[in-house]
Chains A and B, each alone.
Chain A
Amino acid sequence: MRSQEKVAHLRQRLSAIILSAKNDAERKKSSSQLEADALKRQIVELDEQWRQREERIRRIADWTSDREAEIIAMAQKSMETYFRALKEDVGDQISTYSGPDFKGFVEMQIPLMIKRRCKMWVDAHGDALRSLLMRLSAELTAALTREFKTRIPMLEPRFVSRGIAVEDVHLDSPDAPNGRMYAGLILGGVSALLMLTGVGMFMPMLSFAGYPWLAGRLDKSGLEKAKHKFMPEFDKALYLAAESMRDRVLGYLVDEVRGLQESAELKYRQLLQAARSEIQEESAFRSQPTAMVRSRLSIIDETLASLRKLETRISLLSSNELKEASV
């Protein structure tokens, strides 16, 4: 499954590179073929777009910030519900406990139980969070595509471009933060990343060791008294643990959303700048002799033909050939 994702992603990346080159060549060709009036109109339109660029960028920021609030609210509500149920379940287990080793139950089993349940939330909701980030990315890409009437490769959330495979990462590795060791693939997805951000590792801090009233063998009334004393401690510790998990998960989501917003804003500036330079160059080039203009058109046609051939070749490459090509 992961291998298929890897191949699909490689194919997508190669196609995106070809697509970007083809877009450049096609844009050059279409501006070379513009009539003088159309060229003037386009210059006016682009100048207007250029003047409004900060307003459009603010629109991207406002829209993304509204979606960020929605995504955060959904994740937060999901976690609150989960921790509420967790608190009730573990609370019931504490109040019904009647075994001989309450100390062991409190110090060992409860922290493990909570750690497992936290991991379960991440496993069960990782795909939903990934899907939300991908939808955000798709919508930003679609808006840019509509604005510039050109096809652009999908903006990548940071977790895709980092492409962390959880089993390949050693947290103490000096290479870990710079991303060089990552293959550029969606391997572990959000679940793996959430685990890497420490969501799955904070639970050992939830410790109930060292309460003197837990020491020694407890008779029936001693056990009830110990439970009574333990419950507020448990509530407090679970609250802190939930807060810590909430901060990490939400912090991670905010980081991803803002990364996408920055990519979209940068892409907007790049596309606008490219279109503007293109049309300005064309305007200047029109003063050159006709033979030079024709010669440039034929070079663009040749480039486009080569890119089309390359595109067909990539679609026919087998999985193994693709992997070799990527190396």
Chain B
Amino acid sequence: MSDQFADQNQIFHNGDLSHHTINGELISTGVKNAFSQDYFRSDGGHEHAVPNAEGGMDVYRDGALQERIIPHGHGAHDVYDSQMQLKATIHPNMQHGHDVLHGGTLLESSIPLGHGATTVLNYSDPLAHLSEYSMTKLVLE
């Protein structure tokens, strides 16, 4: 279940298989093929990612083109919808994760925590939404 404030994303790899969870809930299972990747979503959907001519990836959902990801240098990528309307730009950030921006507005920031886990902060100014932040309990026993 996604949270408004922050989500804990985790990707477990096992050979060519991967499991993506958000806050402990399985979102999709990925299978790596020779040139492409398939993702079987827990909601029943199927996504297929194939490399495109621009050096990025095209993502198809249930057979229809959903997203085009195109690199534009310095590690940044533009994400377009099937009509080639810019949805967002992904930039690497200082924490070795990435920021997703749209029209100059920061939509989300990911912060890697190691072991395939990443925290994604969903507000552009998390300090302004602190009442929604819950601190994990410290258990010593």
A-to-B contact residues, CB < 8 Å:
56, 59-60, 63, 66-67, 69-70, 73-78, 80-82, 84, 88, 125, 128-129, 131-132, 135-136, 139-140, 142-144, 146-147
Pick from B104, B113, B121, B130: contact of A77, CB below 8 A.
B121
Cβ distance B85 to chain A, nearest Cβ, rounded Å: 22
Q: Which of A76, A78, A125, A140 contacts B138 (CB 8 A)?
A: A140
Minimal beta-carbon separation of B62 from chain A (angstroms)? 34
A128 near B140 with CB under 8 A, answer no
Most central of A69, A75, A140 by chain B CB within 10 Å: A69
Contact of B109 among A56, A77, A135 (CB under 8 A): A77
Within the assembled complex, what's the spacing in Å between the Cα atoms of A135 and B132? 13
Check A74/B121 contact, CB under 8 A, given A80-B106, A88-B104, A128-B128: yes
B139 interface hit (Cβ, 8 Å): yes
B127 cross-chain contacts in A, Cβ below 8 A: 74-75, 78, 125, 128-129
> Which of A69, A84, A135 lies in contact with B106, CB distance below 8 A?
A84
| Residue among A56, A67, A74, A147 facing the most chain B CB atoms (10 A cut-off) | A74
Given A60-B140, A67-B135 in contact, is the A78-B94 Cβ separation under 8 Å? Answer: no
CA distance A146 to B138 in the complex (A): 10
What are 5 A-B pairs with beta-carbon distances under 8 A?
A75-B127, A77-B109, A77-B121, A78-B126, A136-B135
B42 is an interface residue with CB less than 8 A from chain A: no
Tell whether, in the assembled complex, residue B138 and residue A139 are in contact, meaning their CB atoms are under 8 Å apart. yes
Considering the chains assembled together, what is the distance between the CA atoms of A56 and B95 in angstroms?
A: 28
Residues of chain B contacted by A139 (CB below 8 angstroms): 135, 137-138
- Asked if B133 is at the interface (CB within 8 A of a chain A CB), the reply is yes
- B11 interfacial contact with A, CB 8 Å: no
The reply to whether the CB of B43 lies closer than 8 angstroms to some CB of chain A is no
- Residues on A with C-beta less than 8 A from B3 are none
Cα–Cα, bound, A136→B121 (Å): 19
Taking Cβ atoms with an 8 Å cutoff, the residues of B that contact A are 6, 93-95, 99, 104, 106, 109, 111, 113, 119, 121, 123-128, 130, 133, 135-141
B94, B106, B113, B138: the one contacting A81 at CB < 8 Å is B106
Given contacts A73-B109, A74-B126, A132-B130, contact A59 B140 (CB under 8 A): yes
Which residue of the partner chain A has the closest CB to B110?
Answer: A73
Partner of A73, one of B119, B130, B136: B119
- What A residues does B99 contact at CB under 8 A? 80
Q: Are B138 and A143 within 8 A (Cβ)? A: yes
Known: A73-B111, A77-B126, A81-B124. 18 other contacts (CB 8 A): A59-B139, A59-B140, A63-B136, A66-B113, A67-B136, A69-B119, A70-B119, A74-B121, A74-B130, A74-B133, A76-B94, A80-B99, A82-B125, A84-B106, A129-B127, A131-B130, A143-B139, A144-B140
Query: Could you tell me if B113 and A69 are in contact, using CB atoms closer than 8 angstroms?
Result: yes
Bound-complex Cα distance A76 to B113 (A): 16
Give A76 to B94 CA distance when docked, in angstroms: 9
- By a CB distance below 8 angstroms, the chain B residues around A74 are 121, 126-127, 130, 133
A142 vs B136: C-alpha distance when bound (angstroms): 12
**A143-B123 Cα distance, complex, nearest whole Å:** 29
Residues of the A chain whose Cβ atoms lie less than 8 Å from the Cβ of B95: 73, 76
